[in-house]
């Protein structure tokens, strides 16, 4: 848990659950797993000490106390479970309900929930909990390619939420959000009451970082930007990651360069140098908070 975060789209993090395991291609070089294995699992003062990353644990003590979001008076955007998935099968349903009760008790904050376990999320929030969407809780899915988008976004659109969002990071292929949205929006509106806001309200995109990062083609990010612009959906470009486009390169070799099949050259500049400008523009848009 941190009252401040370096993640571009949030202000703070909160970890009522820790631990996770891979579920799809986007997990292959998980930043959280790498961070835990390098830094935290060897630190005797850390809650990760001696634990493998796939050791999923709930932390009820983080639902109270002076260091919990309940005690933070200044409103913040809070990323829930940055080193876990709240809807992981190992997390008891009762504890997930307790987390949502806690978020309801902190209306001053905006909680950003992100999951790859979209089926369990949809089942619990639509069927099991039968809950009314909390205006300060944004429900999102993480997708890395079209297959993940088709599966998880369709389930997200069947989930009651005040704000729905998609995190396309690491972006490993082109995404057509219009197709899954077009197929499911009509059905979702028939299923959900109008005040459940059955649309996607925010899209975040970014490339992969870390020692084994895979490059993101510029056209994949541009396509998402253009789809969001056309649909009137806020778009945030988080980062290029390790690799940045270099159109001036015509031929190069070695591990610091990558050429896509269409002749687009990327260079391994590192996350900081690569930055987060897309075609020279900072895209830093957010959805309107619902209160």
139 DSSP assignment: E
pLDDT higher than 60, residue 9: yes
290 pLDDT above the threshold of 90? no
Looking at residue 198, its pLDDT comes to 47
Q: Mean pLDDT check: name the lowest of 209-213, 229-233, 256-260, 276-280.
A: 229-233
- Ranked by mean pLDDT, which of 30-39, 44-53, 125-134, 256-265 comes out on top? 256-265
Average pLDDT over residues 177-195: 49
Q: Which domains does the chain have, with CATH numbers?
A: 12-245+275-282 (3.80.30)
pLDDT at 252 > cutoff 60: yes
- pLDDT (tens digit, 9 = 90+) per residue, 64-92? 988 899 999 899 999 999 999 999 999 99
Tell me the pLDDT band of 257, cut-offs 50, 70 and 90.
very high
Q: Which pLDDT belongs to residue 131? A: 77
Which helix (H) or strand (E) segment is 228 a member of? Answer: helix 218-231
In degrees, to the nearest 5, what angle opens at C-alpha 68 toward C-alphas 119 and 168?
35
Helix (H) or strand (E) holding 185: helix 178-191
Compute φ and ψ for 166, nearest 5 degrees.
-125, 130
Report CA dihedral (96, 102, 104, 109) to the nearest 10 degrees. Answer: -110
pLDDT at residue 184 is higher than 60: no
**pLDDT recorded at residue 291:** 57
Please tell me the predicted confidence (pLDDT) of residue 276: 98
Looking at every residue in the chain, the average pLDDT score rounds to 89
pLDDT tens-digit series, residues 104-146: 999 999 999 999 999 999 999 988 777 789 999 999 999 999 9
For residue 24, the model assigns a pLDDT of 94
Which residue in this structure is represented by tokens 């009651």?
160
Q: Which residue reads 């077009």 in tokens?
A: 182
**C-alpha separations of 110 from 4, 19, 36, 117, 143 in Å:** 14, 23, 26, 21, 22
* Exposure b/e, 41-51, CB count within 10 A at least 16 = b: beeeeeebeeb
CB 20 within 8 A of CB 35: no
Q: How far apart are CA 95 and CA 204, in angstroms?
A: 28
What are the Cα distances from residue 241, in Å, to 26, 198, 237, 268?
A: 14, 31, 11, 9
Q: Give, in degrees to the nearest 5, the angle at Cα 50 between 49 and 52.
A: 105
Q: Is 36 helix (H, G, I), strand (E, B) or coil?
A: helix
pLDDT tens across 43-67, in order?
888 888 889 989 999 999 999 988 8
pLDDT at residue 106, rounded to an integer = 95
Contact 245, 264 (CB under 8 A): yes
Q: Quick check: 190 pLDDT over 60?
A: no
Structure tokens at 231: 């649909």
**Which percentage of the chain shows pLDDT scores above 70?**
91
- Measured CA to CA in angstroms, residue 264 lies from 209, 235, 248, 259 at distances of 19, 24, 10, 6
């Amino acid at each position: 848990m941190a009252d401040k975060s370096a993640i571009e789209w949030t202000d703070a993090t909160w970890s009522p659950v820790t631990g996770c395991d891979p579920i799809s291609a986007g997990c292959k070089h998980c930043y959280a797993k790498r961070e835990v294995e390098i830094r935290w699992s060897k630190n005797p003062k850390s809650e990760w000490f001696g634990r493998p990353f796939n050791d999923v644990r709930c932390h009820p003590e983080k639902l109270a106390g002076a260091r919990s979001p309940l005690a933070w008076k200044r409103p913040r955007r809070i990323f829930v479970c940055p080193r876990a998935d709240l809807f992981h099968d190992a997390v008891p349903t009762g504890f997930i309900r307790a987390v949502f009760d806690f978020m309801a008790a902190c209306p001053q904050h905006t909680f950003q929930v992100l999951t790859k376990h979209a089926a369990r999320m949809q089942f619990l929030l639509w069927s099991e909990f039968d809950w009314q969407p909390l205006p300060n809780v944004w429900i999102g899915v993480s997708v890395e390619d079209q297959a993940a988008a088709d599966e998880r976004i369709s389930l997200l659109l069947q989930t009651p939420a005040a704000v729905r969002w998609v995190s396309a990071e690491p972006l490993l292929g082109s995404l057509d959000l219009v197709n899954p949205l077009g197929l499911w929006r009509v059905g979702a509106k028939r299923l959900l009451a109008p005040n459940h806001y059955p649309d996607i309200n925010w899209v975040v995109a970014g490339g992969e970082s870390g020692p084994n990062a895979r490059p993101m083609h510029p056209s994949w990010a541009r396509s998402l930007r253009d789809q969001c612009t056309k649909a009137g959906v806020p778009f945030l470009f988080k980062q290029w990651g390790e690799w940045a486009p270099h159109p001036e390169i015509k031929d190069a070799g070695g591990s610091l360069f990558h050429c896509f099949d269409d002749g687009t050259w990327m260079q391994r500049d590192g996350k900081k140098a690569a930055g987060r400008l897309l075609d020279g523009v900072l895209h830093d848009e957010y959805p309107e908070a619902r209160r």
